[in-house]
Amino acid sequence: MTMIFGVPLAVLSGQLLIGIINGAFYALLSLGLAVIFGLLKIINFAHGAMYMLGALVTVVLFDLMGVNYWVALFLAPLLVGAFGVLIEYFLLRRIAGQDHIYSLLLTFGVALIIQGVLTNIYGVSGLRYAMPDMFKGGINLGFMFLPYYRAWVIVVAMLVCFGTWFIIEKTKLGSYLRAGTEDSQLMQGFGINVPLLVSLTYGFGVMLSALAGVLAAPIYSVTPVMGSNILIVVFAVVVIGGMGSIGGAIITGILMGVVEGLTKTFYPPASSAVIFLVMVMVLMIRPTGLFGKEA
């Protein structure tokens, strides 16, 4: 067997693939954060909670009304997105124009509330969500057994990431968005409802996070605190990519998934720290991240 640094090539290929799959999750989550920060300058510390809500809503919809996975894939992000719009409308709007730090603190508070309340209702040992039947099983790739569901995760995440990037960077709607948030008075003058645009943008960012939650529901244990730890990691990813850079968030997400996966193979104890290490090093060399523009 071919060995690379004492690790069989087959194992290594498997780890790379796993890294890309996890990277797809990071990409989806950090994309939402980057949209919200890049366009609205809001530091959304409630992002992890929204991811959790996406997963939890999926489970609850199924338990209460038997809503199946395919419907939940659309319905859950919509519901959570609507909830995001409410948060923007009732809370975040009131601190528009203040230092970014306040949006961080406000959303941190919101996250504590959501997590705390749901912990009291659902406990923390994890809710069950059965894998949809058509995704049961997997395919033997020779170097590893790839569950169908993980393959599906990559496909969905990549499609959504690319679509979002395309809309924001390449279409007219995207240019309105960017212009509207950069010079709101001017756009208001053109007859565009900027406050609505802001609410919808926040809602959209939240939806992306919730979608990641739905994708996670069948494979991770769904608990009200599942977003708390991943939040910090995803923030690190966004910072490495350059806060606000849409493309940067996507690429860095996948990259970090791979870096983490390789660390888990070669030196597991460092795997939870490695992303923060990369972040510190990147910021030493490039103060605004890999793909960041402004200082």
Partner 1 sequence: MNQPVNPADIHKVIIEQQKARNRKKMMVNGVLFLLLLAAPFMMYPVFLMKILCFALFAVAFNLLFGFAGLLSFGHAAFLAAGGYTTGYLLSNFAGLSTELGILAGTATATVLGLAFALLSIRRQGIYFAMVTLALAQLVFFFFVQAEFTGGEDGMHGIPRGHLLGLINLEDNLNMYYFVLAVFIGCYLLVQRIVSSPYGQVLKAIKQNEPRAVSLGYNVDRYKVLAFVISSALAGLAGSMKSVVFQLASLNDAHWHMSGEVILMTLLGGMGTLLGPVIGATFVVNVEYQLSQGPLRDWVDPILGGIFVLTVLAFRSGVVGEIQKLVDRNFK
Partner 2 sequence: MTMMKKLLASAVASALMASGAQAAISDNTVKIGYLADMSGTYRDLAGPNGLKAMEMAVADFGGKVNGAKIEIVSADDRNSADVASSTVRRWLENDGVDMVGGLVASSVTLAAVGLLEQNDKLGLVSGAAAASISNESCSPNHIHYVYDTYAFSVGTPTAMVKEGNKRWFILTADYAFGHALEADVTRVVEANGGEVVGSIRHPFPTSDFSSFILQAQASGADVIAMANAGSDTTNAITTAAEFGVTQAGQAIAGLVVFLSDIHALGAEVAQGLQLTTGWYWDMNDETREWSDRFMEKTGTKPTMIHAGVYSSTMQYLKAIEATGSDDAQTVRQHMIKTPINDMFASNGYIREDGRMVHDMYLTRVKTPAESTNEWDLYEIVRTIPGEEAFRPLSESKCRLVKN
| Residue 200 makes contact with partner 1 by CB under 8 A | no
Backbone angles phi, psi at 142, to 5 degrees: 95, -55
Closest CA to 225 of 106, 150, 127: 127
Contact by Cβ (8 Å): 69, 215: no
Half-sphere exposure of 75 (CA within 13 A, CB side): 15
Give least dist CB 232 to partner 1, A: 6
Closest CA to 227 of 19, 34, 44: 44
Copy the structure tokens of residue 153. 């995760």
- 115 or 265, CB closer to partner 1? 115
Applying the rule CB under 8 A, the residues between 231 and 250 that interact with partner 1 are 232, 235-236, 239, 243
Copy the structure tokens of residue 80. 């959570």
Burial grade of 102 (CB within 10 A; 0-12, 13-18, 19 or more): middle
Closest CA to 23 of 272, 234, 279, 286: 234
Q: Which does 14 bind (CB under 5 to 8 A by kind): partner 2, partner 1, none?
A: partner 2
Q: Which does 125 bind (CB under 5 to 8 A by kind): partner 1, partner 2, none?
A: partner 2
| Residue 209 makes contact with partner 2 by CB under 8 A | no
DSSP letter at 132 equals P
Which among 56-64, 124-132, 143-151, 277-285 is the span making contact with partner 1, rule CB under 8 A?
277-285
Which among 27-35, 118-126, 205-213, 241-249 is the span making contact with partner 2, rule CB under 8 A?
118-126
Bridge partners of residue 138, in order along the sequence = 147
Give least dist CB 84 to partner 2, A: 23
| Residue 113 makes contact with partner 1 by CB under 8 A | yes
Contact by Cβ (8 Å): 33, 212: no
Provide the strand spans (E) within 52-199: 138-140, 145-147
- 13 or 288, CB closer to partner 1? 288
Per CB under 8 A, residues contacting partner 2 are 8, 10-11, 14-15, 18-19, 21-22, 116, 119-120, 123-128, 130-131, 137-138, 144-145, 147, 149-150, 219-221, 223, 225-226, 229-230, 261, 264-265, 268-269, 271-273
Instruction: List interacting residues with partner 1 (CB under 8 A).
Output: 43, 91, 94-95, 98, 100-102, 104-106, 108-117, 119-120, 232, 235-236, 239, 243, 269-270, 272-273, 276-277, 279-280, 283-284, 287-288, 295
